[in-house]
């Protein structure tokens, strides 16, 4: 494991926040919600990132990328606690509208 510098942490966070900005620019509404496979909460759809079979909200995907960069986890399966996975297909879909292309 290695500790990231403040600048490295800020850079990873900024890049991950770009996903939300891109989604908003493409017309994905911030009123749309989807359940995150890590935290289990209905979060704004802009910024969700797909990893393998998991869909993580922007906050959780930032936490994952930071943990991966620091060597705390090696895979998404290590990061997503089994007790918080939402497996219901109906919950994986957004509450309204269409998914961003990287999640479809």
**Rama region for 103: left / alpha / beta (φ>0; ψ in -120 to 50; rest):** alpha
Asked if 31 and 95 count as a contact pair (C-beta separation under 8 A), the reply is no
Task: Please tell me the predicted confidence (pLDDT) of residue 91.
Answer: 38
Dihedrals phi, psi of 43, to nearest 5 degrees: -115, 160
**Rama region for 55: left / alpha / beta (φ>0; ψ in -120 to 50; rest):** beta
This prediction's pTM: 0.77
Task: Please tell me the predicted confidence (pLDDT) of residue 18.
Answer: 96
Q: What is the largest CA-CA distance in the chain?
A: 41
Asked if 44 and 33 count as a contact pair (C-beta separation under 8 A), the reply is yes
3-state SS, residue 46: coil
Encoded tokens for 36: 């995150």
What does pLDDT average to in each consecutive run of 10 residues of the chain (104 residues)?
A: 89 95 94 93 95 93 93 91 43 44 55
Task: Please tell me the predicted confidence (pLDDT) of residue 95.
Answer: 42
Encoded tokens for 64: 């994952």
Task: Please tell me the predicted confidence (pLDDT) of residue 2.
Answer: 86
């Amino acid at each position: 494991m290695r500790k990231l510098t403040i600048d490295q942490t800020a850079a990873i966070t900024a890049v991950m926040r770009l996903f939300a900005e891109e989604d908003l620019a493409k017309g994905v509404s911030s009123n749309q919600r989807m359940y995150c496979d890590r935290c289990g909460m209905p979060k704004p759809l802009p910024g969700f990132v797909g990893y393998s079979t998991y869909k993580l909200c922007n906050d959780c995907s930032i936490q994952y990328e930071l943990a991966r960069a620091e060597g705390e986890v090696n895979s998404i399966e290590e990061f997503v606690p089994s007790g918080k996975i939402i497996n219901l297909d109906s919950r994986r879909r957004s509450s309204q509208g269409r998914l961003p292309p990287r999640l479809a």
